[in-house]
Amino acid sequence: MKIERFQYFAEVARLGSITAAARKCYISQTAMSQQMSALEEDLGVCLLERTKTGTKLTEEGKILLPKAEALIEAYQEILGCFAAGKKQEAKLTIAYTGPMEQQLLLAAVPVFHRVHPEIDVQLRQCSMAAIGEELENNECDIALAVHGEIRMKGCHHAEVLRRPICVAVSAEAALANEKMLTMEQLKKRHFVVLRPDASTRTSKLIHQWLISLGWQESMILYADNIESQLLMVSLGEGITLMPEGIYPPGIRLVPFADKENFVHRTEAVWKGKSSLCEEMIHLLQKEAQKCTGRQPDTEKI
């Protein structure tokens, strides 16, 4: 008989819904139903009465609930007694893609360290094409990427940062002296984008967008990664789009004057349930709010 089934049962009883409890425990509704059926089979009684409006406890379920809660509490106390004796150092690994995510981590990680000095926070910079694999292969606990880049099933997503997208130009270029730029001013200029295989989605969408606006293929230049993209811009080889932020001296960001709303969204993606992951994500959102003055739209954590 698995302790997790009693934990799941307590959540179903507390929320009055198998679907809500499944969401809270980060498992599917089908899996939660199967766990409840297995617990009822183990005990030989019916614990839940399923209705159109939710789930309520049977008389046997009402008898079990306080005993299940006491069992869970005792189990957690046992774990707590021996947690301090574990020799393996706890760690939290975060994979990220670009300078925006890096700047956010530089602000949030020191705050996290002050609260959890025992946790080893490890950072891994990855390409947008590879960051999903990092998460899928359990090589990171949290992945920070452009919204929509990671589409794995069973993952949880929360927006941590939203910044306006600007035109990145060489600091030596004439465009660097402009206060704002329209799309018409950018046409017939070389545009630097990531290679189509450098991301799962974003680079392809930008390429299609440029073609739809009239850019010729010969006017589109390709970079292997974001660092190369910024280097090509700083050397005056072309322009590109970057979210508002801090960049090397050779880069100048100029806002769009067009009415169309260009926005960069960074999201945190993670698997399973982890209080450390949730705490780090809250810190990232808090630091982002300090920078932007707005609260990102988030999935409830």
At 136, the pLDDT band (50, 70, 90 cuts) reads confident
Query: Are 254 and 173 within one domain?
Result: yes
> DSSP 3-state assignment of 94?
strand
CATH number of the CATH domain containing 68: 1.10.10.10
Distance CA 66, CA 37 (A): 19
Percent of the chain at pLDDT > 70 equals 91
Residue 299, in any domain of the structure = no
Residues 270-279 have pLDDT tens digits of: 988 888 899 9
Sign (positive/negative) of CA torsion 72, 78, 82, 84? positive
Please tell me the predicted confidence (pLDDT) of residue 291: 67
Is the pLDDT at 31 greater than 90? The verdict is no
End of a domain among 83, 102, 131?
83
Is the pLDDT at 1 greater than 80? The verdict is no
Domain that includes residue 256, residue range: 163-263
Pairwise pLDDT comparison (30 vs 239), residue with the higher score? 239
For the chain, how many structural domains are there in total?
A: 3
Work out the burial of residue 286: count CB atoms within 10 Å of its CB; fewer than 13 is exposed, 13-18 middle, 19 or more buried: middle
Amino acid at 239: I
Beta bridge partners of 222: 193
Residues 174-207 have pLDDT tens digits of: 999 999 998 888 988 999 999 888 777 888 888 8
Is the pLDDT at 55 greater than 80? The verdict is yes
Mean of the pLDDT values across residues 98-116? Answer: 88
Please tell me the predicted confidence (pLDDT) of residue 282: 92
Max intra-chain CA distance, the chain: 79
Residue 297, in any domain of the structure = no
Residue among 108, 156, 157 at smallest CA distance from 288: 108
Please tell me the predicted confidence (pLDDT) of residue 143: 93
At 261, the pLDDT band (50, 70, 90 cuts) reads low
Which DSSP letter does residue 45 get?
S
Work out the burial of residue 148: count CB atoms within 10 Å of its CB; fewer than 13 is exposed, 13-18 middle, 19 or more buried: middle
Query: Are 66 and 183 within one domain?
Result: no
- Kindly write down the DSSP assignment for every residue of 68-88, as one continuous string: HHHHHHHHHHHHHHHHTT--S
Residue 92, phi-psi category: left (phi > 0), alpha (psi -120 to 50), beta (remainder) = beta
